[in-house]
Amino acid sequence: NAGVTQTPKFRILKIGQSMTLQCTQDMNHNYMYWYRQDPGMGLKLIYYSVGAGITDKGEVPNGYNVSRSTTEDFPLRLELAAPSQTSVYFCASSYDGGKDTQYFGPGTRLTVL
């Protein structure tokens, strides 16, 4: 099993550009999450999904969108990138939601200039 995979690993965007961060898991987990990690701030939840077709906002959803058309994939869309979105983004999945261990992808380092 590959676990949770994320692409790309690194990306530099110009202000106002858009992009999609890809996340795929092969563990048949229903629950998936997107976090951002800023230095010294821990992980902040952006969006989460409890199953295909169901998504909900986390603590810091502004400037992002998600979709969940399949169990495996949970892409994160950034529209109109801003410097404040410079961060490391982690995708995670779990079998039993927040009660359970989360399995994290390797992260995407995004810089917005």
Partner 1 sequence: AQKVTQAQTEISVVEKEDVTLDCVYETRDTTYYLFWYKQPPSGELVFLIRRNSFDEQNEISGRYSWNFQKSTSSFNFTITASQVVDSAVYFCALSEESGGSYIPTFGRGTSLIVHP
Cα distance between residue 111 and residue 14, in whole Å = 8
Parallel, antiparallel or unpaired: strands 10-13 and 108-112: parallel
Question: Cβ 87 to partner 1, closest distance in Å?
Answer: 13
- Give me the 22-61 binding string for partner 1, x by CB under 8 A, dash otherwise: -----------x-x----xxxxxx--x-x-----x-xx--
Whether the CB-CB separation of 90 and 26 falls below 8 Å is answered with no
Question: Cβ 40 to partner 1, closest distance in Å?
Answer: 6
Please select the residue that binds partner 1; options are 20, 75, 86, 104, rule is CB under 8 A. Answer: 104
Whether the CB-CB separation of 66 and 77 falls below 8 Å is answered with yes
Cα distance between residue 48 and residue 33, in whole Å = 4
Footprint of partner 1 (CB under 8 A): 33, 35, 40-45, 48, 50, 56, 58-59, 88, 90, 92, 97-104, 106-107
